[in-house]
A and B are shown apart, each in its own frame.
Chain A
Amino acid sequence: MYKYIIRRILVFIPMLFALTVMVFALAQAAPGDPFTGRMLDPTVNPEVYQQQREALGLNDPYPVQYMNWMKNILQGDFGNSIYYNGRSVLELISQRFANTLYLGLFSLTITLVVSIPIGIYSAKKPYSILDYATTGFGFLGLAIPNFFFGLIAIYIFAIHFGWFPSQGTVSSNDVTGFAELIDRLHHLVLPGITLGLAGTATYMRYMRSEVLDVLGSDYIRTAKAKGMSSNNVLYKHTLRNALIPIITLMGIEFGVLVSGAVITEQVFNFPGLGTLFLQSITNRDYPVIMSINLLFGVFILVGNLLADIFYCVVDPRIRYD
């Protein structure tokens, strides 16, 4: 098992390298640099911009730029934002990252708490009224675009009923301690549900079909023939097998935890990574774009790594290959 995990981590390294190349190449492939398309001060000599480009290393050949970038990253230096007057990218990102991570975790928690029990229940009673209802809800959840659902949620629950705030992460800086936690959670409800909607539908459908599949398998019949109670059959024999494909899904969703919120954050004016990402793209702030891209990529890779490791915890057939 450990051999497998070590091997899997070793594969992770070249993938990480490939990721940096991709991120760099994509940034270079985009036209323009931070100075193009800006309302430039006409009193400033264009020579100055040229000097700035030279100073920032934007005129170096690509391999040299890449090597410099990598060298800095390996030393923990993600460069400075060009748009935000040279504030460090790390500082910019870390401010927003926590917000996005809370949002992602909150949404994932809601997703799992809602979808897994419903999925199991629908599989236990297939073609029941509740099964049809959740199936209908599932398709609706998958079909409605995030931003649209977000707007409707704001209209109904924030404007009409006034139950939840429609934007931001906290009401004011005055609240502290436990009150702050409650306040922050209160702010997370609408964006969290909006972000988790599609995921909830997906997990629910997966869970239903997996449990249904496993319930029909031979070893479940064996467990029943052994005299195991229905609960034992469901929670011991069925669930562990049904969760194997769910782990794949979670591995992929782990990346979405941080990157999936780009649009939702916009709708709820949520100061997270997504908002920063979109701003940086508009401003052609390449150091920020590249760093966020890299972060998204790393999360997806780590998600897959974790999924693979969890596989071999759950499924003994994978361990000994």
Chain B
Amino acid sequence: MTNPAVLSVEDLKTYFYLENSNIAKAVDRVNFSIHPGETVALVGESGSGKSITSLSIMQLIDKPGKIVNGSIQLEGRELVQLSNRKMTKIRGKEVGMIFQEPMTALNPVYTIGNQIIEVLRKHKKISKKDARKQAIELLKTVGFPRAEATMKEYPHQLSGGMRQRVMIAIAISCEPKLLIADEPTTALDVTIQAQILDLINEMKKKFNMAVLLITHDLGVVAEYADRVLVMYGGQIVEQGTKRQLFKSAKHPYTNGLLESLPSLDQSSDRLGTIKGTVPAADNFPEGCRFSTRCPHVMEKCIKTNPDILSDDSGHGVRCFLYEEEEK
């Protein structure tokens, strides 16, 4: 990890100021970085702050949400506080993004071609003709054999998987340094999922992009990620390489997640579960966010939130159970 990070997020706090004057700490003190050619998976349940983290990177947090603190640097350039005008030159160009719902992520009233050409012309300042040529190339790259016909088609004429391919084409059109894929396969058939993820992987290698893969599917993590960040309650509770996470998970939450996976090696009648649900973001417990559901909860967990502690290999965990071990 000697080469500089593409993206480094430090102490990011994105809060939502709700009408009942509560503050939802959707993202709270998040730190991580991604290097070129690396796929970092951001894992967590619904409501754990994964998507808000990615939208914070894009500076697309709408009211009542606000990035209240922290720094997001893209190749050393600070994005927080950057004007919207300047951000428009980064979004789509330096950072590409793919969303969860391909069915609704494309504008229904414009052709596929229109929507790809638009982004090419915005960022590359090229003629309509050249943009069209490049758009056709892009469509071929993401697997449309009859790309020229597809250019004239509308989103509703394509299947979900095909639309996600178009989204990928748009996201990689300007060869971004960072690709954010926000649950890119959640809404797709299982058979299509692998194709889409393989395509993302292929594009990553081709353009040496860094990929932030947001998912709640540990199978996807096992297959495609290099490093993993586990989020819970707006915070990263455990981080490490894929191997570290799957072989020697430390945090009770990560363990809970792993136990809830069906396994071919062991036969058991019941899958493990994590009791309870994620607390609402404006109602997190005072201490450790996971304390209300943790099987190993201790007295101090309820009062104070542990810090994230990393060992030499970079495997970090936010839990008092391992505090002694470190010292």
Contacts and interface: CB of A to CB of B under 8 A. Distances in A.
Are A and B genuine complex partners?
A: yes
Interface of A: 217-219, 221-230, 237, 240-241, 314-317, 320
Interface of B: 58, 60, 84-85, 87-93, 96-97, 99, 101, 104-111, 118-119, 122-123, 154, 156-157, 167, 170
Contacts of B89: 227
Tell me the dominant secondary structure on chain A's binding face.
helix
Contacts of A222: 97, 99, 105-107, 167, 170
A227 B119 contact: yes
Nearest to A220: B107
Nearest to B170: A226
A227 B92 contact: yes
B122 A230 contact: no
Given A222-B97, A225-B58, A315-B108, 17 more contacts: A219-B107, A222-B105, A225-B60, A225-B91, A225-B96, A225-B99, A226-B170, A227-B92, A227-B93, A227-B122, A228-B118, A228-B119, A237-B110, A240-B110, A241-B108, A316-B108, A316-B111
A223 B107 contact: yes
B311 to A, nearest CB: 36
Contact of B88 (A217, A219, A228): A228
A316 B109 contact: yes
In order of increasing CB-CB distance, the 4 nearest A-B pairs are A227-B92, A227-B91, A226-B92, A218-B104
A225 B168 CA distance: 12
A315 B123 CA distance: 27
Given A226-B170, A227-B88, A315 B105 contact: no
B6 to A, nearest CB: 17
A317 B156 contact: yes
Contact of A317 (B60, B84, B108, B170): B108
Given A229-B88, A315-B109, A316-B156, A224 B60 contact: yes
Contacts of B88: 227-229
Nearest to A320: B157
Contacts, number: 74
Nearest to B103: A218
- The residue in A237, A240, A316, A317 that gathers the most chain B C-beta atoms within 10 A of its C-beta is A316
A224 B90 CA distance: 11
A314 B110 CA distance: 9
Given A218-B101, A317-B156, A225 B108 contact: no
A185 B157 CA distance: 49
Contacts of A217: 104
A70 B90 CA distance: 68
- The residue in A218, A237, A317 that gathers the most chain B C-beta atoms within 10 A of its C-beta is A218
A227 B90 contact: yes
Contacts of B107: 219, 222-223, 237, 241
Contacts of B91: 224-227
12 contacts: A217-B104, A218-B99, A219-B104, A222-B167, A225-B60, A226-B170, A227-B90, A227-B92, A237-B110, A241-B109, A316-B108, A316-B156
Contacts of A219: 104-108
A215 to B, nearest CB: 9
B99 A221 contact: yes
Contacts of A316: 108-109, 111, 154, 156
A241 B107 CA distance: 9
Contacts of B109: 240-241, 314-316
Contacts of B122: 226-228
Contacts of A315: 108-109
Contacts of A226: 91-92, 118-119, 122, 170
A226 B121 CA distance: 11
A234 to B, nearest CB: 13
Nearest to B120: A226
A78 B195 CA distance: 68
A224 B167 CA distance: 13
Nearest to A241: B109
Contact of B105 (A218, A227, A241): A218
A124 to B, nearest CB: 12
A222 B118 CA distance: 12
Contacts of A240: 109-110
B21 to A, nearest CB: 16
Contacts of A320: 157
